[in-house]
Structure 1
C-alpha cells in the first residue's frame, strides 16, 4: 500500500491532551460495514451496550503500562540522562501477572530491558546511570545497537524488586503528541481497568473507555468478556516513513492468547455470536493466533508478533472493532482501512472532524460493526 494513501488532515485543536472526565464519557462514532460509506451514527461510549450484539464475545487487552520514562545521572560525570524502557528481555512471553509464583521468586533479581537513552552525548556500553533522586535504581548499559537501542541491566542497590523501583520513580510514558508531561492523574487514566500483566510502554487506548458500569451493562446483555495480552511497544505508533507499507519494519511485540480465551471464541462460534475486538492490539493478537485449520477460531499460544495488517488482509477471527482515531501514516490506520475499507474510514474520519470529535490516545472512539450486524 502506498503510504501517501494513509494521509489525512487533522486540525491540531482536535488532539485530546487529557481524557474525558468519566472513562465511558467519550463520544462514539458508529460505522456499519453493511451500510453505504458515509453513513454514520453519533453516540457515546457509555451506550456501547446498545450496539454490541446480545451474546457477543468482547475481547480486551489486559496488558499493564509500565511507567517507562526514567530520569537520572550518568555515574562519573553527573550528566543528565533519560532512559525510556521499551521491552523486558528476560521474562516469559506468556506473562503471568504480578502475583504469579515465578514473578515473586524473581522479584529482587536484576532485569534486562531494551531501552532508548537520551543524553547530551551518546550513551555507550559500560556506562552506569543512577536513576531516581536517591539512586533507587541503577542501569548498566550492556550493548548499543546500530539503531541506538540499548540493552540495559536494571538493579536496585537497596534490594527492592526492580518492578517496584520502576513504579516508584518512573513517569507515565505519554505519547509526545499530547504536548505535555505526565501528572499524577495519568497514573490511573493511562491504564485500563483490565490492566493485569505489566509490560506495555503505551496504553491499549480503546480499552481506556471501559468503566465498571459499562462492563456491567454489557454482561447484563449476556455479553461474554475474555482477554488477550499484547504488550504495546513504541513500534505500534511509529510513523511510516517508507514509500510503501510493505517496506515498513514492524517491531516485534510480545503477546499471548490463553486456552480460556480460545475456548471463549469457540463458544461464540458455536452460538453464532460475533467476536468484538477492543482495540487494534486485541485484533493483532487474535489474528496472530488464528487457527489455520478452523476459520474463526484461535489457538492458545504465546510469543512475538510482527503482523502488519493492511488492506488485502483476510480477517479470520474479528467481526467488529472498537478503536480510537489514529495518526496519519500509521500502521494502526492501515489496520482500520483493512477492516472497514479506506473510503469508508476516511469518510468516517471526516464526519468526526466536522463534528469536533477528539483524536488519538485520550480522544473519542469509533465502533465498526460487521456486515449484517443488527
Structure 2
C-alpha cells in the first residue's frame, strides 16, 4: 500500500487547540457516517460487552534547553538507556555531536549520538520527579504551531491527561480517553458491561510520520505494553457469550492485537513486553469489534490502522464527510467510532 493513499487535505482552522465540551461524535457502521451524542453512544454498549481503556499517564518530558549562544529549543525525553544516557527528540539539524546543552533545573547534557532518536549524556541522573518539577506536557507540534507558541497553557496539564491515567511513562496522551468523564463510567458500569484496562506507554513512533513511499518499508518503533490476565480473560468470555469488545483508542487495539499475535511474554498475572506491531492493509483483527478514536493526521500509522479496521475507502470517505461538517481534528478534536469490517 502506498503511503500517498493515506493522504487527505483539511483546513488548518479545524485543528483543535483545546478540548471542546461536549465533543462531537462521528459514528461509522455499515451505513453512511452520522453524528451522534455521548448518551447515544453509551446506549449502544450492552451488559455482555467489555470496554477496554489505556491507563498510561503522560509524563511531562518536554524540557527546554539552551545552547552556548543562548538559543532556546525543546527536548523530548523518550527513553532512559542507562543512568545518565537518554534517547531524545530535539532539533538535530542545528546541534552538533559533543555539544553541551544547558537544561532547566541546573542540568547539563552532552550530545553523544545523532540520528532519530538522538542520545544525550546527562550531568546527573534524573527521574519522574525532575520532569514533574521542570517539564511541560509533550503536546503534538501541530498544536504549538497553530497556537504560535512552543510553551503549554496552564490548562494543558489537565486537558492532556485522561481520567484513567495511573502508570507514568507516555510521551503522548491516548487521546480517545480524553472524551470520557466519571459520570460516563458510571453509565457504562450501570449497563452491566465490564470496564478493563491495558497499559501502553505511547512512545517515539507517535511523533514520527511515515516517510517511506510504501507502508511495507516503514520501520515501526516499539512501545512497552502490559495486558493484565484479567483483561484478556474478560475478552475471551465476552466473545464466547456473544458480546462486543470496545477498544477505547488505537493504543488499546494495538495492545490487544499484540497479545493475540503472541508478541508479548506471558506471566502469571499479565502479558508484558515491547511491541512494534504495525497494523495496515489487509490485517486480520482478532480482538475488538468497535474502535473509539480521534481523527488522525494524513500519512500516519494511526490512520493506516483505522483504514485497516474500517476499510480504506470508507474511512477516507468518512473523513471527507466530517471535514465538510467542520468536525474538530486531532488530539484535542472530536471523536470517531468505527465498527470492524474484517
TM-score, structure 1 normalization: 0.81
Does residue 28 of the first structure (1) align with residue 25 of the second (2)? yes
Give the match for residue 141 of structure 1.
110
- CA pair 9-223 structure 1, distance change in 2 beyond 3 A: same
Q: Which digits, 9 at most, give the CA deviation of each residue in 1:52-105, with x for residues without a partner? A: 23331111111111112111345x776645321112346xxxxxxxxxxxxxxx
Q: CA deviation at 1:19?
A: 0.7
- Structure 2 unmatched runs, 5+: 263-268
Q: CA deviation at 1:173?
A: 1.0
Contact preservation (8 Å) 2:92, 2:118: no
Structure 1 position 65 matched with structure 2 position 58: yes
Give SS of 1:85's match: strand
TM-score, length basis structure 2 = 0.88
Q: Write the deviation string for residues 167-217 of structure 1: whole angstroms up to 9, x where unpaired.
A: 111011111111233111000110101111111111111011110011111
The equivalent of 1:5 in structure 2 is: 5
- Aligned-residue CA RMSD in angstroms? 2.4
1:154 Cα shift?
A: 7.0
Aligned counterpart for 1:205 among listed residues 158, 169, 175: 175
2:129 to 145, 161, 164: 164
Structure 2 match to 1:103 = none
- Uncovered stretches (5+) of structure 1, i.e. residues with no partner: 91-109, 293-298
C-alpha displacement at 1:46, in angstroms? Answer: 4.6
Seen in structure 2, the aligned counterparts of structure 1 residues 308 and 154 have a Cα distance that, compared at 3 Å, is farther
| Structure-1 separation of matches of 2:280 and 2:168 | 28
Secondary structure at the counterpart of residue 138 of structure 2: coil
CA distance in 2, matches of 1:139, 1:275: 47
What's 2:229 paired with? 259
Q: Secondary structure at the match of 1:289?
A: helix
Tell me if the contact between 2:46 and 2:192 (Cα under 8 Å) persists in the aligned partners. Answer: no
The answer to whether the Cα contact below 8 Å between 2:63 and 2:103 also exists between their aligned partners in 1 is: no
Distance (whole Å) between structure 2 residues aligned to residue 120 and residue 6 of structure 1 = 28
CA distance in structure 1 between the aligned counterparts of 2:110 and 2:337, rounded to whole angstroms: 44
2:252 and 2:117 map into 1 onto residues whose CA distance is 29
8 A Cα contact 2:18 2:159, kept in partner? no
In structure 2, how many angstroms separate the alpha carbons of the residues matched to 1:371 and 1:71?
A: 44
The equivalent of 2:265 in structure 1 is none
Which residue does 1:191 correspond to in 2?
Answer: 161
5 Å-filtered alignment, 1:92-103, equals none
Deviations 1:311-337 (A, max 9, x none): 210001111100111111111111001
What pairs up with 1:1-374 in 2 under 5 angstroms? 1-21=1-21, 25-32=22-29, 35-36=30-31, 39-73=32-66, 80-89=72-81, 110=83, 112-118=85-91, 121-125=94-98, 127=100, 129-132=102-105, 135=106, 138-141=107-110, 143-147=112-116, 149-153=118-122, 155=124, 162-178=127-143, 179-180=146-147, 181-290=151-260, 300-370=270-340
